[in-house]
Amino acid sequence: MAFYLDICIRGSGIVGRTLALLLARERLNVGLVASPAMSGTDVRAYSLNGATKTLLQDLRCWPDHKAVTPVHQMQISGDQGGRLNFAAHEQGVSELNWMVDVPVLETMLEQAVQFQPQIQIMQAPVPAPLTVVCEGRASQTRGDLGVCFDISHYDQHAVATRLVCEHPHEGIARQWFGWSQAPGLSQPQAEVLALLPLGGEGGREVALVWSVHPLRANQLMALGTQEFERELMHSCAHALGGMQLSAERASWPLQLARAERWIGHMPGTAQQSFALAGDAAHALHPLAGQGLNVGLADVAKLVEVIRTKEFWRPLHDLKLLRRYERARQADVQAMGLVTDGLQRLFAQPGPVWQNLRNWGMRGFDRSGPLKQWMTQRAMGQSSDASISKAHN
């Protein structure tokens, strides 16, 4: 018997699988096109906020305590004494967010999909009233659909790995804005170094995300193990004592990107449409750690729009899909402005800019309501409640 599809999802990463599970609960038949397996060791860890945690818990895909590390505090240091400190107790909660091991989360979602009879795993896409593209920032389908991906390349690459530290991380996410001399360049270049807690409460493992000039990234990737560890300990002022690599290093270019449109008709027909979600629709600088939260907010909003549509309106109706596009474009643009603005502010050389940004950090740390508002947005307590609605 043929399996009729309501929706075909291209891309079976975290965003694609979460979308498939949510749509299946709406009694929709979903085709999930498998993504190519990732090669090499996966060193990624995601910072997930309260709204995302609630969504994944409702799908019974929230990992156990071994793969989840609560973040109680975030410490940000500028390049001339500026400091910002965000603490969970200031918000009346026990955690600001949670660091989640990516492979564990992906495995849980994969298993949940296998037990959902309304989801069919496919090796190639098939026609459906609605196709949702969740293939990531390098999406081939997005290009085939003629959607322009407006990319602003940062003069930075991320260097990521994992380390075991001498001292416990105490549930603190640490981030430094600073400068380094990239080989082959005459002027120091801005960099952002983040150490994110892993290994659960009392753990000593951290995930490193080090955003540096491409030439500096090449240098760091080429260093021997002990040389890399010494360079890192020097750059973070030995904040966690001795550090030892526990995983391979990975590197990739950083960019700010957004698709010019997120919806449209499939080529050659007005009876089939598409929508973009996750990194296929946008890419942000990792300094705010909001990438997956934003992608899953896309998913939640799309499901909400579909669930609340007029009974007579088909899934391929562009007026319906524009509700999703308008809501998510505004939120993503706001987040992009924040991350891009911070990155560019700290990339400005010279003492005037240095004094200004560090003065601003100290002022913001004492700003009261403004700081609280920004913290609540990062925690997923913003006015966009689509994630919480998606599982009701």
Ordered DSSP codes for 218-254:
HHHHHS-HHHHHHHHHHHTTTTTSSEEE-S--EEEEE
What kind of fold does domain 7-152+254-390 have according to CATH?
FAD/NAD(P)-binding domain (3.50.50)
Distance separating alpha carbons of residues 364 and 368, to the nearest angstrom: 8
33 contacts 123 by C-beta, under 8 angstroms: yes
pLDDT recorded at residue 38: 64
Ordered DSSP codes for 360-379:
HHHHHHT-THHHHHHHHHHT
pLDDT digits (tens, 9 = 90+) for 326-344: 999 888 877 666 666 666 6
pLDDT recorded at residue 91: 76
Q: Which residue has the tokens 């026609």?
A: 127
Contacts of 95 (CB under 8 A, 6+ apart): 70, 71, 72, 88, 171
pLDDT recorded at residue 178: 83
Task: Give the pLDDT mean for 356-364.
Answer: 56
pLDDT recorded at residue 388: 47
The phi and psi torsions of 3 (rounded to 5 degrees) equal -100, 105
3-state secondary structure of 117: coil
> Does the structure show a pLDDT above 70 at 271?
yes
Contacts of 244 (CB under 8 A, 6+ apart): 163, 164, 229
pLDDT recorded at residue 383: 40
> Does the structure show a pLDDT above 60 at 373?
no
Structure tokens at 36: 């190519």
Q: What percentage of residues in the chain have a pLDDT greater than 70? A: 81
Task: Give the pLDDT mean for 96-118.
Answer: 92
Reported confidence tier of residue 372, pLDDT bands at 50, 70, 90:
low
Of 85-94, 125-134, 184-193, 324-333, minimum mean pLDDT range: 85-94
DSSP state of 201: T
Q: Name the more confident of 373 and 94.
A: 94
Query: Closest Cα to residue 10, out of 35, 36, 27, 29?
Result: 35
pLDDT recorded at residue 181: 82
Element (H, E) at 110: helix 102-114
Distance separating alpha carbons of residues 189 and 130, to the nearest angstrom: 45
Q: Where are the domains of the chain?
A: 7-152+254-390
Q: Name the more confident of 201 and 355.
A: 201
Task: Give the pLDDT mean for 167-180.
Answer: 90
End-to-end CA distance of the chain: 32
Of 30-44, 137-151, 336-350, 372-386, minimum mean pLDDT range: 372-386
> Does the structure show a pLDDT above 90 at 35?
no
Sign of the CA dihedral running 87, 212, 178, 180: positive
pLDDT recorded at residue 157: 93
Cβ atoms < 10 Å from Cβ of 106: 18
Reported confidence tier of residue 352, pLDDT bands at 50, 70, 90:
low
